[in-house]
Amino acid sequence: MSTAKNQKAKRVTTHTIQEMKNSGEKISMLTSYDYSMAKIVDAAGIDIILVGDSASNVMAGHETTLPITLDQMIYHASSVVRAINRCLVVVDLPFGAYQGNSKEALTSAIRIMKESGAHAVKLEGGEEIIESTERILSAGIPVMGHLGLTPQSIYKFGTYVVRAKEEEEAKKLVEDAMALEEAGCFAIVLEKIPSKLAKMVAEKVRIPIIGIGAGGGVDGQVLVIHDMLGINQEFSPRFLRRYNDLYNGIKGSVEQYIEDVKSKDFPNEKEQY
């Protein structure tokens, strides 16, 4: 007889994500990069964990997402996969691991799937990465697209301002979203674009659109966990809602610990053998 404790949670798949869009249930997605955090996020009931290349910023302290390597992404992803019981795990293909050619893109995606046990990969870009996307999909690997502000191209854009405000860029974004759907992507992230445009794309394509700074008219939302928990205090864009103040929570605990050690309050009689 199975008990509540040993019952396996029903896994979220790319099909579940599509069913959510079809039924109007919003999709929740957050980043995680390590075992302990992913365990909490999965237990809370998140639908998708993104092992984002934002690890380059929040885990490694780089200014951009460009320096993180494929090996480092695999390390983060395998730590996350060991923690989860239910959610879908999507991993960013890092800068330099897929832009060269479609063969290289497939090799990188296969390494992520084989070495981390993740369920899907995410690539930034539209028309220019369609060949790579199709080649990865032909190997049976689900692909999530990413349009709008694509941080791996920051040196092309020059700034992190809102994208696709002008008609020409908006038109290209819509065409790119349709091309990614046509190629077979199971979902697309739209980052930092006008909410009206994001809603229009979500209505135009059948696959789920997950927004970050793209308003409420899309099929789901994603945030970087360090930002929404208030661990990272340096980043405060308008779209970010902070659900905690862990920077001060952790700092306060560390200050208390230091004081307890210095004052010989820790360890007490009960905290020793």
Binding site for ligand KIV (CB under 6 A): 31, 50, 52-54, 92, 189, 191, 212, 222, 224
Classify burial at 10, counting beta carbons within 10 Å of its beta carbon; exposed 0-12, middle 13-18, buried 19 or more: exposed
Task: Name the minimum Å distance from CB 259 to ligand KIV.
Answer: 36
Distance CA 121, CA 80 (A): 14
Query: Closer CB to ligand KIV, residue 20 or residue 33?
Result: 33
Task: Name the minimum Å distance from CB 56 to ligand KIV.
Answer: 8
SS3 122: strand
Query: Closer CB to ligand KIV, residue 52 or residue 125?
Result: 52
> What is the torsional sign of CA 96, 223, 155, 181?
positive
Which residue's Cβ has the minimum distance to ligand KIV? 52
Distance CA 26, CA 208 (A): 9
Choice among 63, 128, 169, 191 that is catalytic: 191
Query: Closer CB to ligand KIV, residue 52 or residue 208?
Result: 52
Contact 231, 202 (CB under 8 A): no
Task: Name the minimum Å distance from CB 205 to ligand KIV.
Answer: 18
Query: Closer CB to ligand KIV, residue 23 or residue 152?
Result: 152
Question: Is 134 in the active site?
Answer: no
Task: Name the minimum Å distance from CB 105 to ligand KIV.
Answer: 17
SS3 50: strand
Strand duo 120-122 + 88-92: pairing? parallel
List active site positions. 191
